[in-house]
Chains A and B, each alone.
Chain A
């Protein structure tokens, strides 16, 4: 194995930034680039990264994926959960390093819905984009947030105008090219007052290669007063991909966010997921389901911030681990001083299926007033022997019995997926790997 050259910073130069951008994007990317200059790669000394080591990764070998670097795929990879059959005829975006294709949106446009590339949004709808881009996920938040801001060649913009309800789900697929590239992209979602939408996005890579590659994404969500978003995010990378994400939503008065996260892939993932409940009566429900095996490492840092009275949050993350994989969940509920009558909940449950697998579960609360009810729970355990024996005693063979228990374990989070068939395909992927 080639020796890995340790680097303190991401080895990318200004020339790798996308050119030919509308002024809004150009300014945003310049600011992100400036921020990046102040941000070295995190080390174990950084509190938020204490349990995630970047030491094994050869950053020096990477180049930023763009139209030239990173092969374009003509068809959706067969590993996709949001496969071509599901997407056919539905509004969907396919994002690659080389470009973005958006289909099936003409009827939505009539209602004023915008579903387009970030480049187009900056050119055609700068006033709208300006309200959110970089305002929810600041490039200053971390090295990968800054890098995604500076180097994203492509991005998806979804805008739902006031009072518009889009009942049919809208899909997005982001395909990372792999092969020693760093692929950065952004998703920006803006819901105006009293609007509603369902958005499902999958991130995946081309067929597994052994050359390490990086994917970095920023996701910014704004939910206006009384608006409602259901978003499902599926992380389905090959194991050669190291994935970094800064994902943040802001929910205004009486708005509602249902956020479903499912993670299966990548060699290493480090994602920051946070929701700011900024208006009275805002509510969110966040659920995560993840499965790891081999040497995978997955970390989720979740943050529920109650910044206004009568806000409600309910978060549950569930993970099952095999092999010598390692997962970390660090949760935090923050309640601001003036935010009374808040109800916050966070839970993390882990099922450790092999002796070498390890799961760290670290809940946290920071509450600055008394009129709140906040609870949390976290568990790390093995398959229950008595449950297993019960199923065996009915003739169910050991592998199937284990599978049934694991399916039951995931039931409450997987059944929340906005489309039941997505939950099923997601479970099928886990099942394949349990049998394999």
Chain B
């Protein structure tokens, strides 16, 4: 059993405080959703946890099984078991999806065992083939350059493919549903459901409750203006769907 614990997290972006004290604990096997309108700091939380240099944690802590994440480089956070499916994945021209994934897998293996010689090519091929089949991706994807010229939906699928191959302990899915049509959304959600297990915790970030019909959260949190202002069960998402965020804004107008 693993635990991702975020305590009183304050994050600055370009000297402006965006996250204003966030508390959140996720255990493996749990699916949490963070909802909130655009611009409330959901991605900021995700980036800060992953260690993006522009997102500066000025106060608070974040630990994974007691290990201080904030003192680690982004690649170390990844090898420790944290994963972020980006809202806007960047393209890396000239680097194939396969080459990239293999490098990432080998980096993870080497972190666990410095003597590791890396995944063998047949083993890697098989792994990639299986995971791509799971996400109903064409095999030609492996040879394409990472996110280069990919449609919005293709990019999101490749994010989940990475999650599937790296098998993190905790995954943050930042607006993975945006840009997906309903069929693609189902495929991606099925994929996430198939790979998330008792050993994995998931944080689904969304401003739209649609994805939560497919990836069913155990806990729903609402973020407004850099703070989690309300937490509850799945019914909270449905209530937001009905009533919007206005009642929460009024209640928490500072």
Bitwise interface map of A from 386 to 411 toward B, beta carbon under 8 Å scored 1, else 0: 11011111111110110011011111
Chain B interface size band reads 20 to 34
Which residues on the B side are within 8 Å of A400 (C-beta)?
103, 107
Considering the chains assembled together, what is the distance between the CA atoms of A206 and B51 in angstroms? 47
- Are A392 and B73 in contact, CB atoms less than 8 angstroms apart? yes
Considering the chains assembled together, what is the distance between the CA atoms of A384 and B93 in angstroms? 12
Considering the chains assembled together, what is the distance between the CA atoms of A398 and B107 in angstroms? 11
Bitwise interface map of B from 82 to 100 toward A, beta carbon under 8 Å scored 1, else 0: 0010100111111100011
- Are A394 and B92 in contact, CB atoms less than 8 angstroms apart? no
Which residues on the A side are within 8 Å of B51 (C-beta)?
392-393
Considering the chains assembled together, what is the distance between the CA atoms of A398 and B77 in angstroms? 13
Considering the chains assembled together, what is the distance between the CA atoms of A317 and B118 in angstroms? 34
A407 and B74 in contact, given A396-B103, A397-B107 (Cβ under 8 angstroms)? no
Interchain CB contact (< 8 A) of A389 among B52, B107, B145, B166: B52
Which residues on the A side are within 8 Å of B78 (C-beta)?
392-395
Which residues on the A side are within 8 Å of B84 (C-beta)?
393
A432 at the interface (CB under 8 A from B): no
- Are A386 and B90 in contact, CB atoms less than 8 angstroms apart? yes
User: Please, which residue of chain B has its CB at the minimum distance from the CB of A415?
Assistant: B94
A385 at the interface (CB under 8 A from B): yes
Interchain CB contact (< 8 A) of B94 among A390, A398, A408: A408
User: Please, which residue of chain A has its CB at the minimum distance from the CB of B148?
Assistant: A408
A412 at the interface (CB under 8 A from B): yes
Which residues on the B side are within 8 Å of A384 (C-beta)?
90
Which residues on the A side are within 8 Å of B103 (C-beta)?
396, 400, 404
B162 at the interface (CB under 8 A from A): yes
Which residues on the A side are within 8 Å of B92 (C-beta)?
387, 390-391, 404-405, 408
- Are B50 and A393 in contact, CB atoms less than 8 angstroms apart? yes
User: Please, which residue of chain B has its CB at the minimum distance from the CB of A405?
Assistant: B92
Which residues on the A side are within 8 Å of B145 (C-beta)?
408, 411
- Are A395 and B94 in contact, CB atoms less than 8 angstroms apart? no
Considering the chains assembled together, what is the distance between the CA atoms of A24 and B73 in angstroms? 67
Summarize A's interface: helix, strand, loop or mixed.
helix
Which residues on the A side are within 8 Å of B91 (C-beta)?
387
B150 at the interface (CB under 8 A from A): no
Bitwise interface map of A from 360 to 395 toward B, beta carbon under 8 Å scored 1, else 0: 000000000000000000000000111101111111
Which residues on the B side are within 8 Å of A405 (C-beta)?
92, 95
User: Please, which residue of chain B has its CB at the minimum distance from the CB of A394?
Assistant: B104
**A-B residue pair count with CB separations less than 8 angstroms:** 78
- Are A396 and B104 in contact, CB atoms less than 8 angstroms apart? yes
- Are B75 and A392 in contact, CB atoms less than 8 angstroms apart? yes
Which residues on the A side are within 8 Å of B108 (C-beta)?
395
Q: Determine which residue in A384, A386, A396, A410 has the highest number of CB atoms from chain B within 10 A of its CB, and name it.
A: A396
Considering the chains assembled together, what is the distance between the CA atoms of A401 and B107 in angstroms? 10
Considering the chains assembled together, what is the distance between the CA atoms of A54 and B180 in angstroms? 59
- CB contact list, B60-85 vs A, under 8 A: 73-75, 77-79, 84
Considering the chains assembled together, what is the distance between the CA atoms of A397 and B42 in angstroms? 26
Which residues on the A side are within 8 Å of B77 (C-beta)?
393
- Are B93 and A396 in contact, CB atoms less than 8 angstroms apart? no
Q: How far is the CB of B208 from chain A (nearest CB, A)?
A: 24
- Are A410 and B94 in contact, CB atoms less than 8 angstroms apart? yes
Q: How far is the CB of B27 from chain A (nearest CB, A)?
A: 23
- Are B90 and A387 in contact, CB atoms less than 8 angstroms apart? yes
- Are A395 and B50 in contact, CB atoms less than 8 angstroms apart? no
User: Please, which residue of chain B has its CB at the minimum distance from the CB of A384?
Assistant: B90
- Are B93 and A393 in contact, CB atoms less than 8 angstroms apart? no
Which residues on the B side are within 8 Å of A401 (C-beta)?
75
- Are B166 and A394 in contact, CB atoms less than 8 angstroms apart? yes
Considering the chains assembled together, what is the distance between the CA atoms of A394 and B145 in angstroms? 16
User: Please, which residue of chain B has its CB at the minimum distance from the CB of A406?
Assistant: B94
Considering the chains assembled together, what is the distance between the CA atoms of A394 and B85 in angstroms? 10
User: Please, which residue of chain B has its CB at the minimum distance from the CB of A385?
Assistant: B53
- Are A395 and B107 in contact, CB atoms less than 8 angstroms apart? yes
Q: How far is the CB of A392 from chain B (nearest CB, A)?
A: 4
User: Please, which residue of chain B has its CB at the minimum distance from the CB of A409?
Assistant: B94
Which residues on the B side are within 8 Å of A408 (C-beta)?
92-95, 145
Which residues on the B side are within 8 Å of A393 (C-beta)?
50-51, 74-75, 77-78, 84, 86
Considering the chains assembled together, what is the distance between the CA atoms of A384 and B145 in angstroms? 16
Q: How far is the CB of A263 from chain B (nearest CB, A)?
A: 19
- Are B95 and A411 in contact, CB atoms less than 8 angstroms apart? yes
Which residues on the A side are within 8 Å of B162 (C-beta)?
394
Which residues on the A side are within 8 Å of B89 (C-beta)?
390
Considering the chains assembled together, what is the distance between the CA atoms of A231 and B166 in angstroms? 42
- CB contact list, A66-100 vs B, under 8 A: none
- Are B166 and A411 in contact, CB atoms less than 8 angstroms apart? no
User: Please, which residue of chain B has its CB at the minimum distance from the CB of A390?
Assistant: B90
Considering the chains assembled together, what is the distance between the CA atoms of A404 and B51 in angstroms? 20
Q: How far is the CB of B138 from chain A (nearest CB, A)?
A: 21
Which residues on the B side are within 8 Å of A397 (C-beta)?
75, 107
Considering the chains assembled together, what is the distance between the CA atoms of A201 and B78 in angstroms? 44
User: Please, which residue of chain A has its CB at the minimum distance from the CB of B89?
Assistant: A390
- Are B107 and A396 in contact, CB atoms less than 8 angstroms apart? yes
Please name the 9 residue pairs, one residue from A and one from B, whose CB atoms are nearest each other, closest first: A408-B94, A411-B94, A395-B78, A408-B95, A392-B74, A394-B104, A395-B107, A395-B79, A392-B75
30 residue pairs bridging A and B, Cβ less than 8 Å apart:
A384-B90, A385-B53, A386-B90, A387-B90, A389-B52, A390-B89, A390-B92, A392-B51, A392-B75, A392-B78, A393-B50, A393-B75, A393-B78, A394-B78, A394-B107, A394-B162, A394-B166, A395-B78, A395-B107, A395-B111, A396-B75, A396-B104, A397-B75, A400-B107, A404-B92, A405-B95, A408-B92, A408-B93, A408-B95, A411-B95
Name B residues whose Cβ lies closer than 8 Å to a Cβ of A: 50-53, 73-75, 77-79, 84, 86, 89-95, 99-100, 103-104, 107-108, 111, 145, 162, 166
**Known A389-B50, A392-B51, A394-B107; 13 more pairs at CB < 8 Å:** A386-B90, A390-B86, A393-B50, A393-B51, A393-B74, A393-B78, A393-B86, A394-B100, A395-B104, A395-B108, A396-B103, A400-B107, A404-B92
